[in-house]
Amino acid sequence: MKIEERVALGRFTTLGAGGPARAFARPESLDQLDEALAWARARELPVATIGLGSNLLVADDGFDGLVVKLAGELADARVEGDKLVAGGGAPNAVCLHRVRAAALGGFEFACAIPGTVGGGVWMNAGAYGSDWATVLDRALVVDDEGARWLTPAQLGLSYRHSGLRHGQVVAGAEFTLGALPEEQIRANVARLQALRKAAQPTNKRTFGSVFKNPEHELSAGRMLEACGLKGHRIGGARISPRHANFIENADGATAADAIALMAEARRRAHEEYGVELVHEVEFLGPLELPPLAE
Ligand SMILES: Cc1cc2nc3c(=O)[nH]c(=O)nc-3n(C[C@H](O)[C@H](O)[C@H](O)COP(=O)(O)OP(=O)(O)OC[C@H]3O[C@@H](n4cnc5c(N)ncnc54)[C@H](O)[C@@H]3O)c2cc1C
């Protein structure tokens, strides 16, 4: 397996911003994944895995380590009985296609989530009342200590969170689903997609929700909207005029532009509601939000 050097990461993210990875590997099997991890270990380089980059903000300076993007059999999916058996790099859309053809329901919510199985495990992705923890049986986690299957409880899944850390690669996952006629699955997906289209920017470059919803009567989006931030722009990044918890790449946005907008949004929410918003988007490379003033 080839390990490439200085690969620009922006094109692997839905925002389309960010610098290069020092090294980049696309393992197509568990053996190749072990090989990539050993390569990084020998050089004492940190490892991060990316899926479809749909929840990712990559620093403009990039990531000084090895980025792994699962491919081949590690990015494929199949149905076995009432189970979806997927590689960690399998796109949710491919999984949904497979389970629909096998008349298995329960995964329709993932039609709203443009990522991969592994990315979903990493942050317990969810929508419309379901999340990975609802349907996941177990995930195959590979790191320097080897490979092991972990249950949702062992993965520490909670609201948009897992206990996984960089260097741990979700190489595969198994989900148990229930029988549902194909037409019903299609109808569910169409309904959820229409809801999504009505509420969120669907044809823009974004990384999904910027902040987790706080414990407050207002969601993060409603709170930032009430702060008057819809359409607010810094550099090439803009808070979506449709939904204030989305940042769009309006024109050549950098990670620094996105961070500046996020800092401003946190500052305003704190000032007006006393709420400390926590970012949902994952950071890769040297990125940090400034602390809130007392
Ligand atoms: C338009 C839009 C709508 C969205 N709607 C939703 C929604 O409704 N609900 C929701 O939960 N999310 C939503 N998201 C965010 C995003 O799609 C999810 O978080 C998704 O699960 C991220 O998957 P990914 O493969 O793109 O991960 P990436 O963005 O590539 O990575 C995200 C994190 O997961 C880690 N990671 C990725 N793959 C692996 C792996 N195989 N092993 C270990 N770690 C890994 C990365 O290191 C990173 O820390 C939306 C995003 C967009 C752009």
Tell me the pairing of strands 63-68 and 47-49: parallel
CA angle 174, 11, 265 (to 5 degrees): 85
| pLDDT for 94 | 98
Would you say the CB of residue 118 lies under 6 angstroms from ligand 1?
yes
Residue nearest to atom 4 of ligand 1 (CA): 208
- Specify whether 158 is catalytic: no
Give 154-157 contacts, CB < 8 A, sequence gap 24+.
155/121, 157/121, 157/124, 157/131, 157/132, 157/133
The closest-lying atom of ligand 1 relative to the alpha carbon of residue 48 is: 47
CA of 87 to the centre of ligand 1 (A): 15
pTM of the complete model: 0.97
- Predicted confidence (pLDDT) per residue in 156-207, tens digit: 999 999 999 999 999 999 999 999 999 999 999 999 999 999 988 888 999 9
- Specify whether 54 is catalytic: no
- Specify whether 294 is catalytic: no
Question: What are the phi and psi torsion angles at 256 (to 5°)?
Answer: -60, -40
What is the C-alpha separation between 245 and 214, in angstroms, rounded?
Answer: 12
Cβ neighbors of 213 (< 8 A, separation 6 or more) are: 219, 220
Report, in angstroms and rounded to the nearest whole number, the Rg of the chain calculated over CA atoms.
Answer: 19
Catalytic choice (54, 162, 209, 240): 209
Residue nearest to atom 51 of ligand 1 (CA): 208
The closest-lying atom of ligand 1 relative to the alpha carbon of residue 70 is: 41
The closest-lying atom of ligand 1 relative to the alpha carbon of residue 202 is: 1
Tell me what percent of the residues of the chain surpass a pLDDT of 70: 100
- Predicted confidence (pLDDT) per residue in 12-46, tens digit: 999 999 999 999 999 999 999 999 999 999 999 99
**DSSP summary character for residue 173:** E
Question: What are the phi and psi torsion angles at 279 (to 5°)?
Answer: -75, 140
Would you say the CB of residue 122 lies under 6 angstroms from ligand 1?
yes
Given a cut of 80, whether residue 294 has pLDDT beyond it is no
Would you say the CB of residue 123 lies under 6 angstroms from ligand 1?
yes
**DSSP summary character for residue 74:** G
Would you say the CB of residue 285 lies under 6 angstroms from ligand 1?
no
What is the C-alpha separation between 90 and 87, in angstroms, rounded?
Answer: 5
| pLDDT for 151 | 98
The label of the residue with tokens 């317990």 reads 124
Cβ neighbors of 281 (< 8 A, separation 6 or more) are: 55, 56, 57, 207, 208, 209, 210
Residue nearest to atom 37 of ligand 1 (CA): 119
- Predicted confidence (pLDDT) per residue in 74-102, tens digit: 999 999 999 999 999 999 999 999 999 99
